[in-house]
Structure 1
Amino acid sequence: MSTPFRQFQAFHATLQRGTVTAAAEYLGISQPAISNLLAQLERRTKLKLFERTRGRLVPTPEAMVLFDEIDTVVRGLDHVNQAVTDLQNQKAGQLQVACNHALAFGFLPNEIARFAKGRPNLTIAFQSQYSGKVQEWVTAGLFEIGLCEMPVRQEAMEQRHFRFETLCALPEGSGVADKPVLTPSDLDSYPFIVMGNDHMVSRRTREAFLSDGAHFRIRCHTDLFRNALNLVKQGLGAAMIDPFTLSADDGAGYVVRRFDPAVLLDIVVVTAKDKPLSAIGREFLDQVLPRMQAVAVG
């Protein structure tokens, strides 16, 4: 069954932008046209993709599965369209970089701004996503450079590996931060906010408590270091936070202490093995890699 791409594009824009109005503005067509394309897609796929609630479209679970499947395809066409536009306008190159969320709040935007200074004709494609998706985008050629967490699950990727020490953030006035370096015994049964049980930082923190014979008490699970730090600020517990998230924060409402043993976060910079880097990509890495190495351990 062939589905016209415009229907997928309208569907993707509606979920990505949140409303039919925003999707119509993004695609440069009318709201009725978006609604008609969505209705055509539901008829063609025989799937109920939206619930109509108080005048709003609420995506169904089936819609979320479909979105994940077509995301790379739609972004790929957007990437091609941008490349055509750049060629037509004789632009002086495009920086194409994607990263995990931790690096997107301060570090990488700052580096992009530094790189763009003095390059008025440079166009920039920058997105943040979960690490697995970043790797998919680089493999598919949607982005030239990816910065993400280990492990690397995509084949044929060049990898530059860095390790960063996470620090223990605790609510201000918690009463357990009177030492410059904390151990699992110091935080025995103290509530923790973690990045999911399978995340490397959560796993390594749990292993440190287990080795020390201390109780690792998990109070909250979340998906971003930024979210974990915000929960710390609200007094819900401690969290191991990466240095990039900490450096992009105002530092209010919490204290930071080193943790012994060190809990490390593995970050890789990935590029496609089968595709040579552009001159723009090489120059950007020449700037960014030393900056990452300056923060890394070892």
Structure 2
Amino acid sequence: MRLRHIEVFHAIMQVGTISGAAQVLHISQPAVTKVLQHAELQLGMPLFERVRGKLYPKPEAHRLFAETEKLNRDLQGIRRLAASLKGRAVETVRLVSTPTIAISVLPEAMTLWRRDFPKARCELATHHTSEIVNVLRLGEADLALSLQDPRHPGIVAEPIAHGKLTVMAPAGTWSEEECRRPISADGLSGELIGLADGDPLGEMVVSACESQDVHPVFNTVVQTYQIARSLVEAGAGTAVLDPFTAASAAVGKVQRRTWEPEIPVNLYLLTASHSPLSHGARELANCIGATARACLEKGSP
């Protein structure tokens, strides 16, 4: 199939009629019919059942639609890019981040970046690290942020901020003297908030506890670090979290202590190895790194 065939085929599948496809594509109905007939001729089979002037997709059409969906989206993206270039629009930076960094670090970083790039377009999405790898490899994002190094041959992981595993507890849990000292697994007490099975940070916490012959019991288990932080702020228990989430907690509602023995937690800038960053994207990465480091300094126990 040619690109024009796919474009017309997708329009028909989406609106269901020749006339509707013609309106979407801004061409005549005979032109749509001609392209569809040519596509079916090349394929050697009909894609639609014609019943009383209406088109009903055959099973082959549904399979073809699913397979060509990404190509059609790419074509639309190329058109948008061409329009931007024609209008001399500023670049678009596509950023994807894990949810915890998107909430704890990105708002201030974006505000800082906007001072020098007031008209730039930034598309921000959130995914877990395994999904981020696929997004970068497919070229659907320019840069990404994660607390994990995926150790993938096609991904470059650059640490841009360094923190330490942190224990958060409701205000008043520890004395001022205790807050100045690190805390080990045997110092954990009261209601413990755990992270869902399979979460890398949660597995790190359990492993660190077991290495000290401590076997924590989590009566409350959450899916996201933000929920754990909110529960601690509300006085619902103690949680062991990344330093960025801990540093973004409400002042006066929580206390923080670093884990002992010290366990480093890095913020990684992830990029596809074959795709160098544009000037705007690199500057955004610099703002994120600076904001993350400032966040850790502000929120240090």
Contact 1:201-1:265 within 8 A present in 2 as well: no
Gap change, CA 1:127 and 1:78, over 3 Å in 2? farther
SS in 1 for 2:117: coil
* Closer/same/farther in 2, CA of residues 208 and 154 from structure 1, 3 Å limit: closer
**Contact 1:160–1:270 under 8 Å retained in 2:** yes
**Hey, what does 1:98 align to over in structure 2?**
96
Where does structure 2 lack aligned partners over 5 or more consecutive residues?
Answer: 1-5, 16-56
Residue of structure 1 equivalent to 2:135: 137
Amino acid at match of 2:185: P
Assess if the C-alpha contact under 8 Å between 1:139 and 1:154 holds in 2.
no
Give TM-score scaled by structure 1 length: 0.67
Name 1:186's counterpart in structure 2.
Answer: 187
The range that moved more, 86-95 or 121-130, is: 86-95
1:152 & 1:212 partners in 2: Cα distance?
Answer: 27
| Distance in 2 between residues matched to 1:261 and 1:134, nearest whole Å | 30
How far is the alpha carbon of 1:71 from its aligned partner?
10
How many residues get paired? Answer: 246
Equivalence map 1:49-128=2 (5 Å): 79-80=77-78, 82-128=80-126
Task: Determine the structure 1 residue equivalent to 2:34.
Answer: none
User: What is the rounded CA distance, in whole Å, between the counterparts of 1:211 and 1:72 in structure 2?
Assistant: 47
TM-score, with normalisation over the residues of structure 2?
0.66
Deviation at 1:144, TM superposition (A): 0.5
What is the CA distance between 1:75 and its match in structure 2? 7.4
Measured in 2, the distance between the counterparts of 1:70 and 1:183 equals 54
8 Å Cα contact 1:100/1:130 also seen in 2: yes
1:216-263 deviations in whole A, cap 9, x for unaligned? 121222221111111223333211122322333323533222221234
Q: Which amino acid aligns with 1:172?
A: A
SS in 2 for 1:213: coil
Paired with 2:210 and 2:87, the residues of 1 have a C-alpha distance of 59
Q: CA deviation at 1:87?
A: 2.5
Q: 1:109, 1:118 → 2: CA distance?
A: 15
What is the CA distance between 1:208 and its match in structure 2?
Answer: 2.6
Partner residue, 1:159: 157
One-letter identity of the residue aligned with 1:168: V
Distance 1:275 1:232, change over 3 A: same
Q: 1:92 Cα deviation (Å)?
A: 1.9
Gap change, CA 1:41 and 1:263, over 3 Å in 2: farther
Query: What whole-Å deviation, never above 9, does each CA across 1:63-116 have from its counterpart, x for those lacking one?
Result: xxx9xx999889767754543442243212122211111111141222122112
Partner of 1:255: 255
Corresponding residue for residue 170 of structure 1: 169
Partner of 1:277: 277
The CA distance in 2 between the partners of 1:243 and 1:143, in whole Å, is 26
- In the TM superposition, what is the alpha-carbon distance from 1:153 to its structure 2 partner? 5.8
Deviates more, 1:77-86 or 1:120-129: 77-86
2:166 aligned partner, one-letter code = L
- Determine the structure 2 residue equivalent to 1:210: 210
Aligned residues with identical type, % of pairs: 16
* C-alpha distance in 1 between matches for 2:280 and 2:80: 16
